[in-house]
Amino acid sequence: MLSKKKKKRAMMLFSYSHSSIPPFKTLALNRKLIPIPRRLLTVMLSSAPKQPFVKVPDLTADETALVSKQAFQRYTSSDLNRRNGTGVAIVWFRNDLRLLDNEALLRAWASSAAVLPVYCVDPRNFGTTHYFGFPKTGAIRVQFLIECLTDLKNNLMKQGLNLLIQHGKPEEILPTVVKATGAHTVYAHKETCSEEVFVERLVHKGLQQVVLPIGSSNQKPLNPKLQLIWGSTLYHIDDLPFDANNLPDVYTQFRKSVESKCSIRVCCKLPLSLGPCPSNGLDEIGGWGTIPSLEQLGVHERTASQCDNGMHFVGGESAALGRLHDYFWKKDLLKVYKETRNGMLGPDYSTKFSPWLASGSLSPRYIYEEVKRYEKERLANDSTYWVLFELIWRDYFRFLSIKCGNSIFHIGGPRKIMSKWSQDQSLFESWRDGRTGYPLIDANMKELSTTGFMSNRGRQIVCSFLVRDMGIDWRMGAEWFETCLLDYDPCSNYGNWTYGAGVGNDPREDRYFSIPKQAKTYDPDGEYVAYWLPELRSIPKERRHFPGNLYIKQIVPLKFGSPSLKPNPVNAEKNRQRSQRRR
């Protein structure tokens, strides 16, 4: 039983400084867990406000369906209903899980009399990361993928098609499906990183082993083709004013060049119907298949406690269209994006488009056209431009992966900078699990593991802390992000980590984010850290970021000192000289 003194202290710790913070069932008192009697817990829970996670987009199912329907109507053209193709064409869906502005899908429709959409559940995508053996795809992203596939299948069925789902390697599945259906071409979107390109080569090789039936003895045997389409960026690779291998080494040069010399292609329109599906061959391969479950992909159901906080992103093209409508048109937040984009708490400080961009559920060109429509119908300002500015960053990392190849995954990065990095497992795990003793780091890492998302500002801060303050091999951080992030794609993830670690295409090698300054600027009242670290809620706001003995011990001193640590006099002069580098 708790003493009266401990009961009083527990009640104080359970008080709320932010009305949206849900209650917790264990209390940390100077790192010691204090059991709470059931009767006392019941009183505390009944009197405390409770709010579940926030769904993104913040729309009802009916609202999402209506928004999606209206978007499809705007991008459907009756002029496209004449098709001159023959036979069967396959669409191999990869990281392009959408119908709107999907050129591979449209090309398959135009070149055929029947279209067969295929998705391969490749076991390699659910293995382990290259260097450190983390899960390649974490549970939250697996759930998001399942939702994306469910929505893709539903949208295809509305357009007269369906989605064939096969478990296995594409280089084994696609030749089998081609042989069964007699398909003449497999259409897919082109990828740029080595693992994905390797699969493309294997698929091409496998298709060369398939001989299509010929109409007469005078015809030469035909092999099905793999037709790769570029469709993942705002600016098309063929429209760049330079070859990708001659990409400028600095983003600003790239941006100014494409903005002044290139135009953005319009989104592809859809015909009234994409059907029919092939009439023969599906029985030979076991029918349409089913969308995999978490268990089939080796992932256990996430516990309810993991789902209580933060944002829950809904997968699929319909949700993506719903989020854009919610942010741009319903809440009218586009006009203030530049002012709010560095926030950390809540769903609406930024667009949150990245999970759908990464899965290909949302086209960057569709975002561009909606921005332009908003500028025409409402207003144009720095904020409307800044959304496009960020999309160009995404383009840059995609094209950079072509120029730099596998060097973006190497310890020295594209610049081949050799540094002595630590791989101390204990230090890394304290960062990974949010146990560093620095609330701003710990809160961000707990948000990542709970929701699969972290703000852009947070990503820069935790990267800087890992590589600058802890001296840990940046690839450990990059691979952990690969596991956790809903919006993981290799180009952006490793591009950003090489940039943050000073081994990428950036002239500033020692990019440092000062935790005291970041905390003061972006979470001045400690609301963000208190949300994710419940033990800080009873602490005065001005002490939440550096609570001293009221929080766990700091695992390492900051490179430039900390308000709670005595500065190192040996580094004082160096700190003064480098102070301009603090962000």
CA atoms of 335 and 387, how far apart (whole Å): 10
Contact residues for 455 (Cβ-Cβ < 8 A; gap 6+): 342, 343, 344, 349, 350, 444
Coil, strand or helix at 270: strand
Count other Cβ atoms within 10 Å, centred on residue 542.
11
The percentage of residues in the chain with a pLDDT greater than 90, rounded to a whole number, is 79
Single pTM value for the model = 0.87
Evaluate whether 394 touches 495 at the Cβ level (below 8 Å).
no
Span 57-110, pLDDT tens digits: 999 999 999 999 999 999 999 888 778 899 999 999 999 999 999 999 999 999
Unique residue bearing structure tokens 């204990």: 426
Mean confidence (pLDDT) of the chain: 87
Unique residue bearing structure tokens 């029947």: 114
CA angle 13, 15, 16 (to 5 degrees): 125
Residue 5 has pLDDT above 70, yes or no: no
Is residue 35 very low, low, confident or very high in pLDDT (cuts 50, 70, 90)? very low
CA atoms of 290 and 448, how far apart (whole Å): 30
Coil, strand or helix at 570: helix
CA angle 109, 317, 170 (to 5 degrees): 60
Residue 582 has pLDDT above 90, yes or no: no
Which pLDDT score is estimated for 340? 97
Higher pLDDT, 436 or 48: 436
For range 543-566, the mean pLDDT: 84
CA atoms of 337 and 191, how far apart (whole Å): 30
Evaluate whether 500 touches 474 at the Cβ level (below 8 Å).
yes
Contact residues for 337 (Cβ-Cβ < 8 A; gap 6+): 350, 351, 383, 384, 386, 387
Residue 450 has pLDDT above 70, yes or no: yes
Joined together, the tokens standing for residue 446 give 């707990």
Higher pLDDT, 126 or 48: 126
Q: Where are the alpha helices (H) located in 294-438, listed in sequence order?
A: 317-324, 337-340, 354-359, 364-377, 382-404, 425-432
For range 212-219, the mean pLDDT: 65
Lowest mean pLDDT among 38-52, 172-186, 235-249: 38-52
Residue 372 has pLDDT above 80, yes or no: yes
Residue 504 has pLDDT above 60, yes or no: yes
Contact residues for 412 (Cβ-Cβ < 8 A; gap 6+): 418, 419, 503
Is residue 222 very low, low, confident or very high in pLDDT (cuts 50, 70, 90)? confident
Beta strands in 454-533 (DSSP E): none
Residue 46 has pLDDT above 60, yes or no: no
Span 466-484, pLDDT tens digits: 999 999 999 999 999 999 9
Residue 312 has pLDDT above 70, yes or no: yes
Evaluate whether 263 touches 239 at the Cβ level (below 8 Å).
yes
For range 324-352, the mean pLDDT: 97
Which pLDDT score is estimated for 24? 32
The percentage of residues in the chain with a pLDDT greater than 70, rounded to a whole number, is 84
CA atoms of 241 and 568, how far apart (whole Å): 50
Which pLDDT score is estimated for 40? 32
Is residue 511 very low, low, confident or very high in pLDDT (cuts 50, 70, 90)? confident
Which pLDDT score is estimated for 507? 58
Q: What is residue 564's DSSP assignment?
A: T
Joined together, the tokens standing for residue 501 give 């670690």
Provide φ and ψ at 312, rounded to 5°: -115, 110
